[in-house]
Copies of this chain bind each other. A is one copy, B any other.
Amino acid sequence: MTPLPAAPATVPVRGGAGRVPFGFHPVPPAATMNDRLSSRARAIRRSEVRDLLRHAGRPGMVSLAGGLPAAELFDVEGVRAAALAALDDAPAAALQYGMTEGQPALREAIAARLQARSIAATPQALVVTTGSQQGLDLVARALLDEGDVVVVERPSYLAALQAFGLAGPAWRSIGVDGDGGRVEDLDAACAGVRPKLVYVVPNFANPTGACMSLERRRALVRWAAAHRVVVLEDDPYGELRTRGTPLPSLAAIAAEVPGASEWIGHASTLSKTVAPGLRVGWLLLPAWLREAVVLLKQACDLHTSSFAQEVASRYLASGRLEARLDLVRTEYARRRDALAGALDEGFGARLEVRVPDGGMFLWARFTDRTDARALLPLALERGTMFVPGDAFFVDATGTADAAVRASLRLNFSAATPDRLREGVRRLVDAHRTLRGRTAVAAR
């Protein structure tokens, strides 16, 4: 055997069975193995939300931390009927390999839903993905080399930061206010660079719940066309509006702005409307980007579960979704109002709450400068949990800024009004304890 020069080799191996031509480095195995990982694997950022969720299963826990839709509102009967229809009518379509782009019937059903929202989507322009999360990863892989510039909202969806972060990009960001991402700040954010990707969640953003105003949407689409920069619109929550008038999607506005359709991508999912367990999402992309994404997806997982896709397309064809969405929206509004009411009652002016018109999250900020990270362990002890706001910031602006450190994201979709109120009671108790300690420390 020829020794491999790059291998660490100084001490003899113990108890080697078989022929072992050279020895090994005396450093601890973990350190040795770490150098075997790719640079992106070594740099990857854990999702704090998913780590937190390990606590969510504790008996009695009221989790305001996750982003789970209400399981008790899933249309199990409808999905059951769709599964039977898929296996009875065309078992080979459900069980055999399929096209990387997605099952034709599902792409047609999704295109029809998008068209109903004034988005000029054809089935051919869609790629079915394993949840919208895979859409984010595929777009990132198609566009980004290390050091390329990505613009996100500040704060932004954590798992998007994770997916884009794998490329090792240079981050830029725009702030968010009550009218969504501050599109007017894009030029300042991009001074001196041309981004590869701008990522926004215009409807009921995670974590802020904010909706981007129509004026900003139009400005963003014009900006994308003018600068020839891909803007990816992630829209998981658009169908969860509980009040007010729906605003057109960037993908709809793009049809009115010459050249814009080459630069606007749209990602969404059935996770918040039908069921996340299906893992069925989609990308609507201009042809030049879609081709790259399809080739990448082929190498990533060949295609998304045909079984899940056939069940999803039959569920959409059943016409049951609209009534179900009405139910979900009504219940989520009730839960949002219960949470907002309890927060107001429990905290009063000490907590500023932004109550959204839809989606699944409330964004709140302590006006008494309570540090959300310091509050979290006390909340966990008392059986409730939330995500500290600074987790959603891509850069140090999060941890450095006291206003950010005082913010938190609260989910209202996964618990009943009574449980939400109980969670807030525990949170109020945790806050009181923390303030007491702080007051003592300050003496």
Contacts and interface: CB of A to CB of B under 8 A. Distances in A.
Interface of A: 1-2, 4-8, 13-22, 24, 29-30, 32-34, 36-41, 44, 46-47, 50, 66, 68-69, 71-72, 74, 76, 79-80, 83-84, 87-88, 91-98, 100, 129-131, 133-134, 137, 141-145, 148, 159, 162-163, 165-167, 187-188, 190-196, 218-219, 222-223, 225-230, 256-259, 262, 271, 275-279, 288-289, 292, 295-296, 298-308, 310-311
A301 B130 contact: yes
Given A76-B95, A133-B302, A143-B36, A6 B71 contact: no
A10 B142 CA distance: 26
A130 B97 contact: no
B39 A145 contact: yes
B258 A95 contact: no
Contact of A257 (B17, B38, B277): B17
B226 A143 contact: no
24 contacts: A4-B187, A4-B194, A5-B194, A7-B194, A17-B256, A18-B222, A20-B222, A22-B226, A29-B262, A38-B145, A44-B299, A76-B91, A79-B87, A94-B277, A97-B276, A129-B301, A130-B304, A133-B302, A134-B300, A137-B299, A159-B298, A166-B296, A275-B307, A304-B305
Which of A66, A68, A226 neighbours the largest number of chain B CB atoms within 10 Å of its CB?
A226
A133 B22 CA distance: 34
B29 A288 contact: yes
A301 B258 contact: no
A305 B131 CA distance: 9
A292 B71 contact: no
B4 A227 contact: yes
Given A91-B74, A167-B38, A292 B44 contact: yes
Contact of A301 (B1, B19, B95, B133): B133
Copies in the complex: 2
B39 A299 contact: no
B33 A262 contact: yes
Contacts of A165: 299
Which of A91, A195, A306 neighbours the largest number of chain B CB atoms within 10 Å of its CB?
A91
A59 B112 CA distance: 29
A92 B74 contact: yes
Contacts of A141: 38, 40-41, 166
Contacts of A97: 66, 68, 271, 276-277
Given A39-B145, A50-B100, A1 B187 contact: yes
Contact of A276 (B29, B72, B80, B95): B95
A80 B100 CA distance: 24
Contacts of A41: 141-143, 292, 295-296
Contacts of A95: 71, 74, 76, 79, 275-278
Nearest to A304: B279
A278 B257 CA distance: 41
Contacts of A144: 38
B305 A142 contact: no
Nearest to A195: B4
A40 B218 CA distance: 32
Given A141-B40, A275-B307, A277-B306, A257 B24 contact: no
Nearest to A160: B299
Report the 9 A-B pairs with minimum CB-CB distance, sorted nearest first.
Answer: A6-B194, A277-B306, A95-B275, A18-B222, A4-B194, A95-B277, A71-B92, A130-B301, A41-B292
Nearest to A74: B95
A296 B47 CA distance: 11
B305 A130 contact: yes
A442 to B, nearest CB: 40
Contact of A259 (B13, B37, B222): B13
